[in-house]
Amino acid sequence: MAPNPNTIPLMTTWTKEFQSTHYKIPVYPAISNYRLKSDLKKGNTVKRTYARQLVAKNMGGGGEFTRQTVVNTEESLVVNYEKDASFYIKSLDEIQDHLPTRTKYARNSNVAIHQQIDADVLGKYASFTNSLDDSYFGGTSGNGISLSAANVPQMFSGVNLLLQRANIFINVAAKFTAVKAEDSQFDMGVAVISPDVMNKIIERLEGKASALGDTVGVQGHVGKYMGYELFVSNALAWTGQLYLPTNPTDGDTLVINGVTLTAKSTVDAGTTAGQFKIASTVDLTRANLATFLTAGGATTVADSTNAGYNAVSSTPDSSGFSDQDRLANITATNDNTADTLSLVALGKGYVRVSETFTAAANVFTTGLQIQHCLIGVANAIDVVIQAEPSLDERKRDGYVGYDVITWAAYGVKVFNDGLSKMVDVKVSTESYIA
């Protein structure tokens, strides 16, 4: 075969812009209440008071009456979230770089902060008094709803029932406008749903998207259905449960949000990412795994009799995320009585899980892989952002370059008068396509 004649190196050309990035759209500005911001100019706490309910009692024949005790209860919203998304940029690199690196990453950091606020707001699903689950559809209490085009209307009518029993009535005439919540009286009905739930609505409408209205594209707003303004979000909270009554076998794996974790009799010395210790008892193994996951898989603990794990990778792949990013905002709780490990993921939308345990009983519990949609009144969740996400550039001591810091301080609270205003709608994710 003749040698390749093209031996002259050719020049590589670089474009002057980054590839486009598709971000999750925060929906919290459209559904939250900002009424307390002006009350929290100083300090980190704002208090609100609610009164006990009085009830009518029988008056005595001689006009005797019953004194009811006046009881006022205080609740507090505390600014207890402090978040940052920061990076370092070397001055020479910035001069020589053909890309607008500082601008691109400054935007990325701002987006990251807003997405975290969104995750914390939507993560308040468990605060609400009412939830709608599979039992309303004739299934098992506590399980997620197996949603279909056929039962979408029943899901919304079930929410209406729960709200009206709590004397909450949706103003069906209220319309979404692209203004901040603090600028209007937001008594409209809202539904924060996932793309998968939205897909079932479109199927129900037989593709007639025009039936949803035309106020589309602002803060994830996609239209109106059964009196509720619809907001699609990929940041809904998700919960799942791993039933683990038997100690794993060496080499068993479980996959959480695309990250593989491997059970090992002996965890190597930080060499293999994602290993976790098989302890002397299954209860201790679950506790070890819970600690590992709640730390976001970001720490390594040396092997010992009943503890040990290796951090997962912190290196981003082609998607821009690392395995530590994928496990961030996921917490796990061990329950020795129920032999379970309960997972809570904020800001993920939904989490795909699987396992290869040798013991057949070790499985993710059917029906409890749940996405928590929020449907109800728009002003149910109070948010105070005391320090808006802002960019701060500081010359780094000992370096020729700058730390670029984006940070925010905020508080999120569902007060007593908001507890019945929204319904935690539990939708099963087990049939969601990858």
61-106 per-position pLDDT tens digit: 889 889 989 999 998 989 999 999 988 888 887 777 766 777 777 8
Residue 2 clears pLDDT 60, i.e. is over it: no
Higher pLDDT, 179 or 231: 231
User: 301 with 218, same domain?
Assistant: no
pLDDT for the residue 170: 85
Residue 297's pLDDT band (cuts 50, 70, 90): very high
pLDDT for the residue 389: 85
Q: Is residue 51 part of a domain?
A: no
Weakest-pLDDT range from 4-13, 30-39, 129-138, 266-275: 4-13
Residue 382's pLDDT band (cuts 50, 70, 90): very high
Mean pLDDT of 12-29: 64
Separation CA 241–CA 198 (nearest Å): 25
Weakest-pLDDT range from 138-142, 194-198, 214-218: 214-218
Residue 213 clears pLDDT 50, i.e. is over it: yes
Residue 184 clears pLDDT 50, i.e. is over it: no
Query: What is the chain's mean pLDDT, rounded?
Result: 88
| Burial grade of 69 (CB within 10 A; 0-12, 13-18, 19 or more) | exposed
Residue 162's pLDDT band (cuts 50, 70, 90): very high
Q: Is residue 347 part of a domain?
A: no
pLDDT for the residue 176: 66
Mean pLDDT of 206-212: 66
Q: Is residue 251 part of a domain?
A: yes
Higher pLDDT, 402 or 2: 402
How far is residue 73 CA from its own chain's centroid? Answer: 30
pLDDT for the residue 181: 43
User: 132 with 199, same domain?
Assistant: yes
pLDDT for the residue 5: 55
Residue 377 clears pLDDT 70, i.e. is over it: yes
303-351 per-position pLDDT tens digit: 999 999 999 999 999 888 999 999 999 999 999 999 999 999 999 999 9
Residue 208 clears pLDDT 90, i.e. is over it: no
Q: Is residue 13 part of a domain?
A: no
User: 118 with 206, same domain?
Assistant: yes
Element (H, E) at 402: strand 401-413
Both structure tokens of 340: 């379970």
Residue 20's pLDDT band (cuts 50, 70, 90): low
User: 30 with 122, same domain?
Assistant: yes
User: 192 with 275, same domain?
Assistant: no
pLDDT for the residue 182: 44
Q: Is residue 157 part of a domain?
A: yes
Q: Is residue 10 part of a domain?
A: no
User: 296 with 403, same domain?
Assistant: no
User: 78 with 146, same domain?
Assistant: yes
Centre a 10 Å sphere on the Cβ of residue 403 and count the other Cβ atoms it contains: 15
- Of the CA atoms within 13 Å of residue 190, those in its CB half-sphere come to 30
User: 89 with 229, same domain?
Assistant: yes
User: 82 with 225, same domain?
Assistant: yes
Residue 223 clears pLDDT 90, i.e. is over it: no
Mean pLDDT of 385-404: 87
Measure Cα distances from 81 to 77, 324, 407, 418 in Å: 11, 20, 10, 21
Residue 230 clears pLDDT 70, i.e. is over it: yes
Higher pLDDT, 328 or 41: 328
Longest CA–CA span in the chain (Å) reads 119
Residue 185 clears pLDDT 50, i.e. is over it: no
Q: Is residue 410 part of a domain?
A: yes
User: 216 with 77, same domain?
Assistant: yes
Among candidate residues 340, 250, 346, the one with its CA nearest the CA of residue 296? 346
Q: Is residue 361 part of a domain?
A: no
Both structure tokens of 325: 């990013």
Q: Which domain, by its residues, includes 80?
A: 23-38+72-236+369-434
Measure Cα distances from 17 to 97, 99, 195, 318, 415 in Å: 11, 6, 30, 17, 46
Separation CA 29–CA 218 (nearest Å): 10
Higher pLDDT, 48 or 12: 48
Residue 146 clears pLDDT 50, i.e. is over it: yes
The domain boundary, picked from 322, 338, 354, lies at: 338
Number of structural domains in the chain: 2
Q: What is the pTM assigned to this prediction? A: 0.88
User: 109 with 194, same domain?
Assistant: yes
Separation CA 413–CA 124 (nearest Å): 8
Mean pLDDT of 250-262: 97
User: 394 with 332, same domain?
Assistant: no
Mean pLDDT of 46-52: 87
